[in-house]
Structure 1
């Protein structure tokens, strides 16, 4: 079997852009007629740059090769240009191509990918969602605790047993910083009010995005501990495991992190410093499904768990579901609501979600197929914004609003 073709589709998401401004899908074809799909999660450059990068990597390392040989593909891409180190954009490109290879391999075998990476462990996957509170005009408002409580109760009624929110924003290019007392009190109020509303039937997942210094994160954790969140997410910027370990060592709240990391090497560094007990790899960034499986195994050795991150499209979600289904130390899967809206429209058959759980598909490969008519209708992306963005201004305790942060629901 040989891979002989590659298509890149940059799909523009419709307002309100839940899951990012665009999704980068790849479609591979083999000489024998099998097609596989993957998704790139890389936001450092405009997608036109990433599309060119996908085509370059395909021509150098995959065209004419057997899609079963994912280890070879990984090692050659990882070593591209005499690097052999975690390169965020290269690993994003590789991830999408590697997923598509697994989709082909599963279809050729007539089996879901999870049966090829250890076999099914979980018949259903516990899931969580961000709270997406809307005001009377239908606009997202993440600063209003009353709307957050309403959203929490709505999602609890749907069946969710874990809810995520991040009221400590904004996220700036100059983080980490020390939060204001007002921001910490606001964070505690969100936890208190949501806990009072949902009781003990829902875990609270407190999101931050590397906003704080270690000292600032420890201060905030003390405000949050009375409400017993399941996790304290990415309390300090990525890249300094010792700094995150200081936070983990000074709070009873489990630290979760990993959406901005790539490859087993960066996750190993986290684990060896005891910096996190919950790993949130995004399979469209870490290097793909096999690399994700290796990271999950490293976590298992350290008695840590995985909670795959997902703030992108449904093909990356499908890959995460395959990994989670075959992983003993799986904790919870990020869902974007119940997988309706554009996440459903772009697929021939939507991801199945039932009463708080994702139900793994038994279809071959990744278990999803793109609706190519819908893909073409929403391609190409013509905007100038990146998938996500940070505030270019330093944090100001008197000006804690951030338009860029408020425009997007979650991360």
Structure 2
């Protein structure tokens, strides 16, 4: 069995756009007709460039190759061009193609991927969601309003969620980190207080940031959040120096979570070795693929750390996250985009199953899902923005505030 062709799909995510502006899917096919799907989570370049990278890697390393040779492909990609470094663009492309190889392998053996990685440990997976505005709601106003977020959190808990995430801590910039303003801190405390009051002990609070603070600023904020007992404080400082994140983790009772911007076992090894985080949030569309994520989960297990796979992209990465989580003893919780309904469901021939706060692990071969190519083709991406973007100038508390001032 040999890999014969690659097709790519850049899909625009229609309003409300939860999960990002667009999704990049890949489709590998073998000479004997087995098809595998993957998804690239690459925000550093526009999708046209990313699909060219995928095509280059396919011709260079995969055309005519055995789809079972996943470790060989990873090593060739990781060392491409005499690099051997955790490059997020390279690893994003690698992840999507590797994911599709696993899908083919599972289908060829008539087994789900989790059965090939040690077997299913969890029949169902606890999931959480961001607090999202409703379709007709002003997004800026919603994200500034602690009371609205508390109402939404209570509604999500009634649906079955036992954890909700929110990120009211203010703007993040390519010039970060910075000190939180007093308004940033007060707003963050207000959100935690209102949401904790609304959900009580029925749900965990997941406090999100985006690496925008200095270590001392993160410690100041964490101290004010501790009375509300969040399950985690996410990426409190930029991801480049986990040793400084470890300084935050050592001074707060809130578990620190990180990893959505990291790739390969080597970057996660620094996190674990330095004690920077006890919850790892690898994104399987960026980290280096499913096998690389399994290795990271194994390292985390040795450090008594847990995994909580990140998702701010499409349903194929979601499916890969589910396969990994199902066979990982130290799994904590899975990020979902609401209940995997809406456009995420439309993109799949059979939607992911979410029931009363949990994702039901599929036993279908491969990743357990199939991309609906007709739907994907009917929603081409036509914009020029990146999937995610940060403020491009140093943060000015007035000019760049994501929220109106309080007081």
Q: TM-score, normalised by structure 2?
A: 0.97
1:66 is matched with which residue? Answer: 66
Supply the distance in 2 between the matched residues of 1:149 and 1:240 (Cα, whole angstroms). Answer: 34
Structure 2 runs not aligned, ≥5 long: none
Query: Which residue in the other structure is 1:160 paired with?
Result: 161
Q: Is the 8 A contact 2:16 2:135 kept in 1?
A: no
CA-CA distance at 1:249 after TM superposition: 0.6
Cα offsets for 1:51-81 (capped at 9, x unmatched): 0000000111111001001000000000000
Q: Whole-Å Cα distance in 2 between the matches of residues 158 and 241 of structure 1?
A: 36
Cα distance per residue 1:194-230 (max 9 Å; x no partner): 0011001100000000010000000000010000000
Cα deviation, residue 393, structure 1: 2.6
2:104 is aligned with 1:75: no
Secondary structure of 1:28's aligned partner: strand
Give the conservation status (yes or no) of the 8 Å contact 1:172–1:211. Answer: yes
Q: State the distance in 2 between where 1:194 and 1:66 align.
A: 51
Task: Compute the displacement of 1:133 (Å).
Answer: 3.0
- Going from structure 1 to structure 2, the CA distance change for 1:135 and 1:387 (only over 3 Å counts) comes to closer
Give the Cα–Cα distance (whole angstroms) in 1 for the partners of residues 402 and 58 of structure 2.
39
Matched, 1:393 2:393: yes
Describe the SS at the equivalent of 1:235.
coil
Asked whether the 8 Å contact 1:179–1:397 carries over to 2, the reply is: no
Q: Which residue of 2 aligns with 1:298?
A: 299
Tell me the equivalent position of 1:94.
94
| Residue 327 (str. 1) matches residue 333 (str. 2) | no
Against the structure 1 CA distance between its residues 189 and 393, is the aligned structure 2 distance closer, same or farther, given a 3 Å change threshold? same
Report 1:12-411 matches (<5 A): 12-134=12-134, 137=137, 139=139, 141-379=142-380, 381-402=381-402
DSSP-derived class of the 1:204 partner: strand
Provide, for residues 261-307 of structure 1, a one-character-per-residue CA deviation record: whole Å limited to 9, x for no partner: 00000000000000000000000001100000000000000000000
- What is the CA deviation profile of residues 338-371 of structure 1, one whole-angstrom value per residue up to 9, with x for unaligned ones? 0111000111011100000010111100011011
| 1:168 counterpart SS class | coil
Q: Whole-Å Cα distance in 1 between the matches of residues 227 and 136 of structure 2?
A: 32
Secondary structure of the corresponding residue to residue 246 of structure 1: helix
Q: TM-score, normalised by structure 1?
A: 0.96
Structure 2 distance, partners of 1:395, 1:233, is 20
- Asked whether the 8 Å contact 2:86–2:263 carries over to 1, the reply is yes
Aligned to 2:7: 7
Following superposition, the deviation at residue 136 of structure 1 comes to: 6.7
SS in 2 for 1:320: helix
Asked if the contact 1:133/1:150 (under 8 Å) is kept, the reply is no
Cα contact 2:121–2:328 (8 A) shared by 1: yes
Q: In the TM superposition, what whole-angstrom CA distance separates every residue of 1:7-41 from its partner, at most 9, and x where no partner exists?
A: 01111110121111100000000011100000000
Q: CA deviation at 1:138?
A: 5.3
Q: How many matched pairs?
A: 403
Residue 396 of structure 1, CA deviation: 2.0
Structure 2 Cα separation of the partners of residues 330 and 13 of structure 1? 29
Deviation at 1:124, TM superposition (A): 0.3
Contact 2:127–2:333, Cα closer than 8 Å, also in 1: yes
